[in-house]
Homo-oligomer: A and B are copies of this chain.
Amino acid sequence: MGAEKTILTMAKAAKRAGFILSQASSREKNSAIKKMAGSIKRNAGYILKENAKDRKAAEKNRIKPSLLDRLTLNKKRITAMAASLYEIAKLKDVIGEIKETIKRPNGLLIAKMSVPIGVIGIIYESRPNVTSDCAGLCLKSGNSVILKGGSEALNSNKAIFKCLQSAIKDTSIPRDAISLITSKRRSAVAELLRLDRYVDLIIPRGGEGLIREVARRSRIPVIKHYKGICHVYVDSDADLNMAHKIAINAKVERPGVCNAMETLLVHKDIAVRFLPVVAHDLKSKGVEIRGCAKARHILKWAKRADEKDWATEYLDLILSVKVVDDIDVAIKHITTYGSNHSDAIVTNNYDNAMKFLKRVDSACVYVNASTRFTDGYEFGMGAEIGISTDKLHARGPMALKELTTYKYVILGKGQIRR
């Protein structure tokens, strides 16, 4: 009960702070964000000391090396955290913008004004830099934020949070605009997810299990992506050299992330020319290939892909390969097994490019480029608070603009409705 009250109290305070923050000027917000960056830089030693505690516990608990890597901070990563905050301070402030003005026949002037959403809860795992990134993005967009990181990173997150708090202490930004839930109880998240009166949006970041659990329990709207089963379809009219480079990049450059390719679809007419060369290159880079029957007819050495493979996000140096009769079969495959994240066609055929763009129902649909570009920085947003494969509010990479909503402002001169 004690912790429940604390989270409720925290959420109420965040709501109040949000009202004040929503009225803050760009200068006030940017100044606070720059102070946060400075505080992180100055206290790097302290943050590293606290991070060492988390790493020691993690090693004792024998967590996976990939998780340990995500948990680990070093001088360079702390500098990057501060740099990211300086970048956020430089971004254009989108709050208060007026758009889509309508003049009605009765003289009413109706427009949308861009405003903060209110209070945003971020539930995340492992990477402590999420703490400062999300605090910076939410503050810049005028939203209060309630952060709940994984217990494996608690000491690191607490240290970073302390730096952020001490930085905004002497600014006009209310301290309750940034909160960190430090309870290790699993129920703490459940408590937060019930507070739909005070919290306006939940963004979960982490493994599919965490995200499904949050989505299932939440009474608050959740924007999320479960996973990224991304496809590259190489059309019969493709520039095979280009297709080769895109396939390698999409699979190998960073296989553990959600915008990496998991399935390569190849048109039957170019499969014999294309597959042996690209598969050999992939194999030389350590990629295990699992093919359909037709693909294995060409690549005798490849493993067999079964039904489960098409629906699996490997997040690893594994690739499933399917030879398809035409673009329609490729699109049908993506519709059946994809995760609505990022899918690409490589083609020089205009009609097929347009068909793919229109029919593939994913957050990001590419023609002749690598799926790896699905990222807030790469899209020119300056930062990223997450990626959405949902249909409502925001799709694809989300940053400042996606942390805003609008209200209608209506300017009259005494109009009444008749």
Chain A residues with CB under 8 Å of chain B are 19, 22-23, 96, 102, 104, 108, 110, 113, 115, 117-118, 200-201, 215-216, 219, 221, 223, 239, 242, 245-246, 248-250, 253, 335, 357-359, 361-370, 372-374, 378-380, 390-393, 395-396, 405-418
List chain B residues, Cβ under 8 A from A361. 19, 22, 115, 118, 407
Q: For residue A223, which residues in chain B have a CB less than 8 angstroms away from its CB?
A: 392
Inter-chain contact A369/B408, CB cutoff 8 Å: no
A221 contacts across to B, CB distance below 8 A: 221, 390-392
A410 and B108: CB pair below 8 A?
no
Query: A395–B118 Cα gap in the complex (Å)?
Result: 14
Return chain B residues, CB-CB under 8 Å to A415. 368-370, 373
> A242-B414, A392-B392, A414-B242 are contacts. A365–B409 as well, Cβ < 8 Å?
yes
A250 to B216 alpha-carbon distance, docked (Å)? 41
Nearest chain B CB to A101's CB is how many angstroms away? Answer: 11
Given contacts A102-B379, A117-B391, 7 further A-B pairs with CB under 8 A are A96-B358, A102-B380, A249-B417, A369-B415, A379-B408, A393-B393, A396-B408
Given A102-B379, A115-B361, A335-B19, also A372-B407 (CB < 8 A): no
- A417 x B368 contact (CB < 8 A): no
A395 & B407 in contact (Cβ 8 Å cutoff): yes
- The 6 A-B pairs at the shortest CB distance, nearest first, are namely A369-B412, A249-B416, A372-B417, A242-B414, A393-B393, A392-B393
